Structure 1
Amino acid sequence: MSRSKQGLAVLSRVLIPAATLLTIAALPAAEAGELPRATEKVKVLVPAYFYPTWWVGSPWDDLNQAASQIPIEAIMNPASGPGNAPNPDYLQAVADLQAAGGKVIGYVPTGYGSRPIGDVMFEIQAYLIWYDVDGIFLDEMGDQLGTLDYESVYCLIKLYQFAVGHKLRVVGNVGVPFPEAEAYLDATDTLVIFEGPLSNPEVVIDFEELPIPPGGAFAPGLYQDPGQEFQVSAVAPNGFLSTYYAREAGSGGFYAGSNAIGASTEATITLNRLDLQPFSLRSIDVARYFIWNEGNDPVTLTFTGQRAGGGTVQQAFTVQAPIGTQAFDTFSFSGFTNLTSVTWQQESGPAGVEHQFDNIRLERMGANFDAYPTEAPYDGLDPWFLQYRPRRFANLVYDVPTADDMEDALDKAIEDNAGYIFLTDDILSNPWDTLPAYWDEEVEAIREFNSSE
C-alpha cells in the first residue's frame, strides 16, 4: 500500500462535513516573508491536461523521465475535476509519476466563488480517496460570481493531511484583477499570478482552410478561426443565422477570390473573441460581392466597435476598386482598440448582396508575459509579489514559439520571483493539451539553473 492507505480508507467511509471540520481548527495560511532567490530551486508546474495513454506512450512518460532531473508537479484533470469514478489509466499515471519522484495535484474548478463549499470539498475528497494525490489545484479563484470561503477550503485541505498521512499542497489560480490577487495568498501555498500568452501577436483571419469546392459553396453563417479564438457570425433580420457564400482563389471573374466569404443574404455581421476578451481591429479587405454589380454601387460599409469599458467607435469605408475589377480594397481602422465586438451590415440591392471580405487583421489585448509586470495592463501597479518567497508564485506561459524564446521567458520568470514555472509552444484553444516540442531543452535549462544555485 502506498503512503497511508489506512487513512484514506477512513476518509472514504466518512466524508467529513465542512462545518464540523471548521470547528476543530483554523489553520494559518502558508507563511510569507522575504527570501533570497538563490535559496530556492525552480520547480515545474505542468497543467497535464492530456490523457495518459500509458500503453502506447504519452506526455506523462516524458514527465516521468524529467522527474529524476528537476522537481515536477503535474496537475491532473480527468474530467474538469475528478469525474464520477476512479479512472484506471490516471491511477497508473499518478502512481508512475510519484514513483519517479514527481508530484501530482488534482484540478478542482471553483466557478469564481459560485460553487458551494460542499461540492468543492466532495471533489477534493474524491482525489484523495481515489488517487492519493499530493495536493489540490483550485482553479477560477475569485469572488465575481459567489462567496466561496477559500480560506476555509484551505484549512479543510490541511486538516485532511492527518487522514492521508502526508502533506497536501494547495495551488490556486486567480481570476481576479491583479491588484486583488494578493488576498488569495491566505488560501494557498502557491498562487498562479500569470497565465497567458508570451505576447499579443497579430492574428489574421484569412479563411484559407475553408473546404471550398470549385464554383463556391454555401456554409453556415458562423465561422471560427483555426485557433478557435475569434468568430465571425452573420445573423439575418429574422434572427436566424444567414449562410456564407465562400469563394476559392481564382474562381472566376464574378468574385474577387482569395477564399473570401460574405453573407448570402442581408445580415448583421459580428466579429468577436470566443472568450469575450478585448481585441484591436487593424484592417480588413473588402470587395464587391459580384465585381460587375453596378446596381449596388457605391458599396459603403460602416463598422461599429463596442468598447470593453462602454461606448462605441465607428468608421465608414467605400470600395474604391473600379466596377469589373477583380480586387480587394484594404480598409485600415483608427481607434478600434479595446473592443469586445465589431459589427457591420451586409446590405442587399438590385444586384444582390453587396460585399465579400477577407484577411481580417486583429491583435489580442490584455495580459501577456512580455508586458508582465511593468507594462500595460500592469504599469503603475504595486509589485507586491516581490515581498514573498518565490515558491508562493507560479507563471504559466503559452504560445512561446521557440527554445530560444523559452530560455528568455524562463530567465524573466525567475527574475520576476516565480518559483513554479511552465512554458510551452502550445496555443489556444487548449494550450495545455501536450508538452512543448522543446520539452527536453526546457528540462535541461531548469536543471542547469538549479545546479548552479
Structure 2
Amino acid sequence: MTVSAPRLLVPLYVHPAVDPAAWQAVAAAGPALVRAVVLNVADGPGPAPDPAFTAAAAALRAAGVTLLGYVDTRYGRRPHGEVVAEVLTHRQWYDVSGVYFDQAAGHPAALPHYRRLATAARAAGCGTVVLGHGTHPEPDFAEPGLADLLVTFEGSWAEYEALALPWWTGHHSADRFCHLVYSVPDRLARAAAALIATRRAGAGCAVPGGGANPWSALPHGIVPADATPTLIR
C-alpha cells in the first residue's frame, strides 16, 4: 500500500521581523507542500494591526498558501462573542481565509459551543475551520460540517512514538486529521514524516525545536530561504 506524504500545517509562531527568512521559505514552498499556515500575532490578532504580519500575510496569499487566524478558545471557557470577535479581527486586519481554534475542548458537552463557533466562522468568510485539540477528542467532533481538520496530536517526538490511535479514526479520511510533533532531531525528520503518514494524518508538521515555543522553528521539509544549495558531485 502506498502512503501519501502529509502536507504541512505550519504553526509559524515567530515574528516576521525577527525571522523574515522563515516566512519567505514557507511562501516559497507554496501550496503543493504547505496546506496552511497559522497566523499567530499575539495569542490572537493582537491589539492593533502589525505591519510586519500584514506584509508576511500578503506574501503568503500571493503564493497561494491558505492562512488561518489563531484564536485561543481556552477549552471552551471563552465566551462565544469574544471568540467570534477575534475571528472577525483576523479577517479584517490580515485577510485570513480560515481559523485555527486552539485549545479546543474534546468532551461531548462542548460540541454545541464549537458547532456555533464553526457556523459563525464560516458566516464570516472562513473557508477552513481547524480545531486544535492536541489530542483525540470524542468521535462526534469528526462529524461533517464541524471542522475541516482536527489536530488530534500535539506533543514531543517521544510522546508521538508511543501514540495509540483510537478505533474511530479509521472511519474517516486521512485529510481530516493533523499531527503536530516537536523536538524531532534532524536525523529523524524522514522517519517522523513517514510515521505521520502511516498514522493516516493527511496534514502534519515536525519541527526540531522544543521548549516554551517549539513552533518558532521552520518545519522539517522546508528549506530556509537563505540556505546555500549543496553541490553534489
SS of equivalent residue, structure 1 residue 58: helix
User: Aligned-pair distance for 1:41?
Assistant: 6.5
Counterpart contact for 1:173–1:192, Cα < 8 Å: yes
The whole-number CA distance in structure 2 between the counterparts of 1:68 and 1:137 is 18
Number of the residue aligned with 2:45? 82
User: Aligned-pair distance for 1:95?
Assistant: 0.6
The whole-number CA distance in structure 1 between the counterparts of 2:91 and 2:190 is 36
- The one-letter amino acid of 2:131's match is G
Percent of pairs with identical residues:
30
Change (3 A) 1:435 1:423: same
Counterpart contact for 2:71–2:102, Cα < 8 Å: yes
**1:137 paired residue among 77, 86, 100:** 100
The whole-number CA distance in structure 2 between the counterparts of 1:192 and 1:126 is 23
Match runs of 1:68-79 below 5 Å? 69-79=32-42
**1:416 paired residue among 172, 190, 199:** 199
SS of equivalent residue, structure 2 residue 195: helix
The whole-number CA distance in structure 2 between the counterparts of 1:437 and 1:168 is 27
User: Aligned-pair distance for 1:439?
Assistant: 3.4
The whole-number CA distance in structure 1 between the counterparts of 2:14 and 2:123 is 30
Number of the residue aligned with 2:213? 430
Render the CA deviation track for 1:208-267: whole Å, top value 9, x for unaligned.
Answer: xxxxxxxxxxxxxxxxxxxxxxxxxxxxxxxxxxxxxxxxxxxxxxxxxxxxxxxxxxxx
The reply to whether residue 173 of structure 1 matches residue 132 of structure 2 is yes
The reply to whether residue 386 of structure 1 matches residue 170 of structure 2 is yes
User: Aligned-pair distance for 1:415?
Assistant: 0.8
The whole-number CA distance in structure 1 between the counterparts of 2:21 and 2:15 is 7
SS of equivalent residue, structure 1 residue 429: coil
User: Aligned-pair distance for 1:72?
Assistant: 3.8
Change (3 A) 1:57 1:71: closer
Change (3 A) 1:37 1:71: farther
Render the CA deviation track for 1:320-353: whole Å, top value 9, x for unaligned.
Answer: xxxxxxxxxxxxxxxxxxxxxxxxxxxxxxxxxx
The reply to whether residue 128 of structure 1 matches residue 91 of structure 2 is yes
The structure with the largest alpha-carbon Rg is: 1
The structure with the largest helix share of the pair is 2
User: Aligned-pair distance for 1:84?
Assistant: 1.6
The whole-number CA distance in structure 1 between the counterparts of 2:134 and 2:37 is 20
User: Aligned-pair distance for 1:175?
Assistant: 5.2
Match runs of 1:207-286 below 5 Å? none
**2:163 paired residue among 372, 396, 404:** 372
Counterpart contact for 1:105–1:137, Cα < 8 Å: yes
TM, length-normalised to structure 2:
0.85
Change (3 A) 1:383 1:437: closer
Query: Tell me, which stretches of 5 or more residues in structure 2 are unaligned?
Result: 225-233
The reply to whether residue 49 of structure 1 matches residue 24 of structure 2 is no
Between Structure 1 and Structure 2, how many residues are aligned? 220
The whole-number CA distance in structure 2 between the counterparts of 1:123 and 1:133 is 12
Number of the residue aligned with 1:101? 64
The whole-number CA distance in structure 1 between the counterparts of 2:71 and 2:88 is 11
Counterpart contact for 1:373–1:383, Cα < 8 Å: no
Counterpart contact for 2:43–2:72, Cα < 8 Å: yes
Match runs of 1:6-25 below 5 Å? none
SS of equivalent residue, structure 1 residue 149: helix
Counterpart contact for 1:195–1:396, Cα < 8 Å: yes
Render the CA deviation track for 1:60-84: whole Å, top value 9, x for unaligned.
Answer: 0110111165234110110100112
Larger relative contact order (Cα-Cα within 8 Å, sequence gap ≥ 6): 2
Number of the residue aligned with 2:182? 398
The whole-number CA distance in structure 2 between the counterparts of 1:134 and 1:182 is 26
User: Aligned-pair distance for 1:438?
Assistant: 6.2
User: Aligned-pair distance for 1:42?
Assistant: 2.8
Query: Tell me, which stretches of 5 or more residues in structure 1 are unaligned?
Result: 1-35, 162-166, 200-367, 375-381, 442-453
SS of equivalent residue, structure 1 residue 62: helix
The whole-number CA distance in structure 1 between the counterparts of 2:221 and 2:63 is 21
User: Aligned-pair distance for 1:385?
Assistant: 1.1
- The one-letter amino acid of 2:74's match is G
Change (3 A) 1:438 1:152: closer
The reply to whether residue 439 of structure 1 matches residue 214 of structure 2 is no
The whole-number CA distance in structure 2 between the counterparts of 1:437 and 1:108 is 25
The reply to whether residue 182 of structure 1 matches residue 123 of structure 2 is no
